[in-house]
Structure 1
Amino acid sequence: MLSTHCYTYKTKGVRKVTIRKASIHDAERILMAAPKALVDAPYMLSTVEDIEKLSFEDIKRELNYYSTNANYLKLVAEYENEIVGVIDFKNGNKEKVAHQGSFAMTVLPQYRNLGVGRALVETMISWARNNETIEKVCLEVMEDNHGAIHLYKSLNFIEEGRKARAVKIDGRYQDLIQMALFV
């Protein structure tokens, strides 16, 4: 079971990043890392203002909820005891859509393009393949986020559709590309 394992990845620049299941003890470090992950992050849907509304207790409740649902997963990427990335996956909450779910990921700016995101997604995919319920992993990505799209395609995600003009930033629209991987 993933909860008892840590996975170590060597990133570009020869850093060793550990990927592991998040625990309630990570709440404070996740809350501290969240606004940092939104620096220079034009493709994130959340804003610093959204994060500032969250309390330590909110994060603890969320982590507890994830730990009690076998079809939810929250992983952290650590480097030298600092959380440098987070990915979370939730499946559908109704029987007919429980076989699929979606994920979201954040990586601190100084750890982007080093393989941390790939390590998080690969670990999440491995978990999904070993989960008896999950058959399909979905995501949405802004059309101009070429680096993320390249990553997902390299991991065999396919484009399933688009939500036209789904995001509005400073008066400019972005389509959300819907992608999926059958596990």
Structure 2
Amino acid sequence: MIIRKLTIQDVESFISFRAEGLENTPEAFGESLKEFNQKSLESIKSTFPNSNTNFLVGMFDEQKLVGVVGFFQNRSEKMKHKAGIWGMFVTPSFRKRGIARKLMEFAIEKGKEIVEVKQISLGVVSTNIAAKELYKSLGFVSYGTEPRAICVDGTYYDEDHMVMMIS
């Protein structure tokens, strides 16, 4: 398996992979599959995270994308010390192989290369115990829970907010 930053050449693989995640675990994402499917290819390409401070990390099994996590640094002068993790998803048939950990470690290491970044935050649905345990084992600590953060088909999900101080 290969882990690397995604490039614009990976956009079509990312689109189908993102749709899989939104369909399989809608409670884990702030965006719905319906909203995502309404975006044009050009729209997705124009906002595709592809810089040193805003990027996607992918894990590939041969040519197949099996895991993704996003990373972004806040842009404003007063908040550029903060970065965030988003969009973590591993194809169900590839789970329990350490892929999520490797994706997170890669993203965190790349984030540490950004001089201004002093902390990394993320949100995780409160019922996702495995993800929360992974994040804790990597050094994230919980600092609060947002009740009813996400609503999927009338069901509300709380979201735990976590942060890692990196310097």
Partner of 2:121: 138
Report the residue type matching 1:41 in the other structure.
Answer: T
**For 1:156, which of 122, 139, 143 is the aligned residue?**
139
Structure 1: 5+ residue runs without aligned partners?
1-16
RMSD over aligned Cα atoms = 1.6
Which stretch has the larger CA shift, 119-128 or 86-95? 86-95
TM-score (norm 2): 0.89
Q: Report SS of the residue matched to 1:132.
A: coil
Displacement of 1:42 in angstroms is 4.5
Q: Percent identity?
A: 29
Matching of residue 112 in structure 1 with residue 95 in structure 2: yes
**For 1:74, which of 35, 51, 56 is the aligned residue?**
56
Structure 2: 5+ residue runs without aligned partners?
none
Partner of 2:47: 62
Q: Report SS of the residue matched to 1:95.
A: coil
d(CA) in 2 for partners of 1:164 and 1:107?
A: 25
TM-score (norm 1): 0.82
d(CA) in 2 for partners of 1:23 and 1:75?
A: 9
Matching of residue 178 in structure 1 with residue 154 in structure 2: no
d(CA) in 2 for partners of 1:54 and 1:125?
A: 29
The answer as to whether partners of 1:158 and 1:181 remain within 8 angstroms in 2 is yes
Which stretch has the larger CA shift, 43-52 or 117-126? 43-52
Partner of 2:84: 102
d(CA) in 2 for partners of 1:136 and 1:109?
A: 29
d(CA) in 2 for partners of 1:160 and 1:153?
A: 12
Partner of 2:11: 27
Partner of 2:33: 48
Displacement of 1:168 in angstroms is 2.3
Q: 1:54 to 1:111 in 2, by over 3 A?
A: farther
The answer as to whether partners of 1:71 and 1:133 remain within 8 angstroms in 2 is no
Q: Report SS of the residue matched to 2:163.
A: strand
d(CA) in 1 for partners of 2:118 and 2:39?
A: 32
Partner of 1:36: 20
